[in-house]
Amino acid sequence: MTRREFLLTTTAMAAQPKKRPNVLFIATDDMNNALGCYGHPVVKSPNLDRLAARGIRFDRAYTQFALCSPSRSSLMTGLGPDTTKIYNLQKHFREVIPNVVTLSQCFKNNGYFAARVGKIYHYGNPGDIGTDGLDDAPSWNHKVNPKGIDKAEEPRITNHTPERKGLGSQIGFYASPAPDEQHTDGLVAAEIIKLLEQNKDKPFFLAAGFYRPHCPYIAPKKYFDLYPPEKLEPIPFTEGENKIAPPWAYWTDPPNWNMSRRQMQEALQAYYASISFVDANVGKLLDALDRLNLTDNTIIVFWSDHGYGTGEHGQWMKQTVFDAATRLPLIIATPSPKTKGKGCPRTVELLDLYPTLADLCGLSNVPQNLHGKSLRPLLDNPNAKWDRPAISQVARGQKVMGYSIRTERYRYTEWNDGKDGDELYDYQADPKELKNLAQNAKLKTELRTKLRTITKARGRA
């Protein structure tokens, strides 16, 4: 090649527009931080562990609302629950903010192919599997609502809390003999892989919405076999432990729903099995990205809509603002990262995902009223200076709201604006939230002032 040809070639290459990064947006339902990459001593999650090795694991990531629809509506609109006004599982956010531009809609407006498979917005799980649920049509170019053999297997479920109504709020489980591919989550993975193959040459935002480990805990038997129940140790409950905070702080009543030790061991087995099943399906997506040579130009985000209690304070599932229910796994892997395989100790929120992805992908016409902040500085340096607490809330009926602020060290919570009590925990000295320091007037005032300032800016009345 002559010098002139070389110069012409390099000039032409430089003039070509830079290829925009793709986004693989992986959601899971009701998953806490029981993963190997988060240091859990029992749960096997090799695929999420390898994703964490590719990117940044956020060790203090929190939901805005410890319930599915309020959390997902907040994340996808980039607005706090007091702006969306979504506090339950029935109302759609467009009834309140009809012209909002959602996260995936913003990508669609920027020329991306935006599609979802499974649960991104709220579905009644498992009741609405196979339907649109509370989906949002303007958010997508394409959608798929898979329905697997687990729906047919529901009559075989063992239920340890028969007094609770609805499969989605019972401690129920079934070790299925059916293979992975026949389950709803197996179908989610297969359909996402099809979309990757069909759209690999165009910029895409693909959202994979897995349904597990949300109860009922149905997964192939081989995942149950990983966790013999007799080897699992339930979280101890001490008499009076559910009296440390105001009554509104607790959702599971009576503690542990009076399950026996053996029943709790079986519940843990089923929950962990469901996590490992999701992990296996995530592995299929990662393998497909590698096979299609897409990894080097795809941002991968893995998130849960909130955390999940498995016996802390005698509480199970969500709907509290204790750390177990509000803290969640969040992993972000970017192409050519400056830093990878590290944990970030800073306090972040699901609200931060919208501005982060818009920033990383250079989107235009991004809404200016988003409540979160781009995590790009923390992706470059997980220990970068960052002074943003996380705000979580949960409703008790129509009249009482619990608001909570979480810093790297403390959590302050007030119920009904403090009229029905408050809580203050120091996680450095008391990681299990067993000592309520609400009598510490100076610290409480400082955190309460910050909490109310932030929540007012996000729509709190």
Residues with a catalytic annotation lie at 68, 122
Compute the distance between CA of residue 461 and CA of residue 456 in angstroms, rounded to an integer. 7
What separation in angstroms does the CA of 6 have from each of 9, 10, 268? Answer: 5, 6, 63
Spatial CB neighbours of 105, under 8 Å, sequence gap ≥ 6: 114, 136, 138, 139
How crowded is residue 190: how many other Cβ atoms within 10 Å of its Cβ?
Answer: 17
Buried b (16+ CB within 10 A) or exposed e, 431-445: eebeebebeeeeebe
Distances in Å between the Cα of 76 and the Cα atoms of 192, 282, 302, 354 are: 19, 21, 14, 7
In a 10 Å sphere around its CB, with 0-12 CB exposed, 13-18 middle and 19+ buried, how is residue 405 labelled? buried
E-strand spans in 119-233? 142-144, 158-159, 172-176, 204-213, 217-220
Residue linked to tokens 């969040």: 330
Query: 238: buried, middle or exposed (CB in 10 Å: 19+, 13-18, 0-12)?
Result: exposed
Residue tagged 């101890």 (tokens) = 236
Q: What is the CA radius of gyration of the chain?
A: 22
Q: How many CB atoms lie within 10 A of CB 201?
A: 8
Pick from 223, 128, 217, 224: nearest CA to 172: 217
- CB 208 within 8 Å of CB 27: yes
The string of DSSP letters for 329-395 reads EEEEE-SS-SS-SEEEEEEEEGGGHHHHHHHHTT-SS--TT-SS---HHHHH-TTS-----EEEEEE
Structure tokens at 426: 């120091």
Q: What tokens does 374 get?
A: 């781009």
What is the β-pairing status of strands 298-304 and 158-159?
A: unpaired
Would you state the structure tokens that stand for residue 9, as one six-digit string?
A: 């070639």
Closest-CA residue to 43 (of 273, 291, 353, 322): 273
